[in-house]
Each structure stands twice: as C-alpha cells, then as structure tokens.
Amino acid sequence: MSNFFSASEHSGQLPLKVKGSLIRREDIEASAVEVFGHLKARGNVTAERVKISGECSIGGICRADQVENLGSLRVDSLQAERVTSSGYLAVTQETRCGSFRAEGAVQLHTLKASQAIELRLGSACSIDHMSSDGLVTVVSSSMLLNLVMRPFRKLCCKSIKGTSIILERTRAELVSGEKIVIGPGCVIEEIRYGTSLAVDPKSKVTSAIHVSTTGGK
C-alpha cells in the first residue's frame, strides 16, 4: 500500500474533471482529478490519480498515488508514489515520492525519491536538494528540440545524493554516492564516492574524495 494515498479511504469519492476554469477554496478529495482547463486550489488536494493537461496551482499539499503532468503544475508540497512530468512542474517545499521521472522544466526545492529519479533535460531545471535510495539519472532529452536552446538545457543543484548516480549537463555543489558517473557538460565542486567514479574529460570536478564504508576518507 502506498505511503502517500490510501485507496480504501477515498474509494467512495467521485472524480473531479475541470474543463473550464475552477477556483476551490476548500480542500479537494476525489478518486481522480483531471485538469484540462485551469484549476486553482487554495487548500490540499488528495486523489488516487492526478492528471494535468492544462494549468493547475495548489496552495497546499497534493497527495496522490500517481501524478501525471502534461501541462503546468504549481504546488506547495507534493507527495506521490509515482510522479511523471513532461510540462512545467514547480514545487515550493518538499517533493516526496517513490519514483520521479521528468522531461521538461522543473523547479523544485527538495526532491526525495525512495526508488529512482530520472530527469531528461528538455529545458532549464533547478532542484536545490535531490536524493534517492536508488538510481539518480540526469541526461539530455531524447526530444528533438531547437539546437539554439541546447545550452540552456541544464540542471542546477546544491546537492545530489544516491546509491548510483549518472549525470550530464549538471552544475552542483556536492554529489555523493557509491557509484558515480559524470558525463559531459558538468561542473561539480565536490564529489564524495564510495565504490567507483568516472569523469568525462568535457566536465570539471574541483574535488573528488573517496569515502570508505566506515565514513573515513
């Protein structure tokens, strides 16, 4: 059972579909929330599935089993088992999930994923602190985009932490993990690795520190 959503608690709720423009001041609880137009929720939103094809802003916490963003989603705090985004996603506080996958513009304060993080850079992205108990992957987008925009498709972070980490086109102050691969286009101030480290010659790493399993250097 998901840590973020209990289906049994909300099985009797009706779905909410927004095709025009809707402003809700009270909390929203539904079996599913689908936004094709514009939704402004001033409180919390709780649903088994949240799908955004239009524009949605949530002033409180969004709790769901699955969040799929194809449009624009702005939220104060996000808790979901699975998050996928190919549009614009902005979270002011913490994003906590099982798995996170995005191919678009992302502006997050803190991202914590228990399973995996996959970020394909289709636009400029910023995540202050990013961590996962599994694999963290940041690579160039597979989408055919204007080459003029290529220099802007980067990720800026303060810290990145994961068991295994693969990075491209990333600027970060600190990267820490067991197995780390730094691909092209990265600027990293400090790396702390436990098992292995590979750095592309087209990237810059100021300091690399091997850390043993006991915490020593």
pLDDT tens for each residue of 69-78? 999 999 999 9
In a domain, 158, yes or no: yes
In this predicted model, what pLDDT tens digit does every residue of 170-182 receive, in sequence order? Answer: 999 999 999 999 9
Q: What predicted TM-score, i.e. pTM, was given to this entire model?
A: 0.90
In a domain, 132, yes or no: yes
In a domain, 58, yes or no: no
113 contacts: CB under 8 Å, gap ≥ 6: 96, 97, 98, 99, 100, 131, 132, 133, 134
Instruction: Answer positive or negative: Cα dihedral of 77, 97, 162, 74.
Output: negative
Percent of residues, the chain, with pLDDT higher than 90: 83
Q: What is the extent of the structural domain holding 166? A: 103-217
Nearest to 166 by CA among 198, 214, 209: 198
Instruction: Check if the beta carbon of residue 149 is closer than 8 Å to that of residue 167.
Output: no
**Number of separate domains in the chain:** 1
CA dist 66 and 99 (Å) reads 10
In a domain, 35, yes or no: no
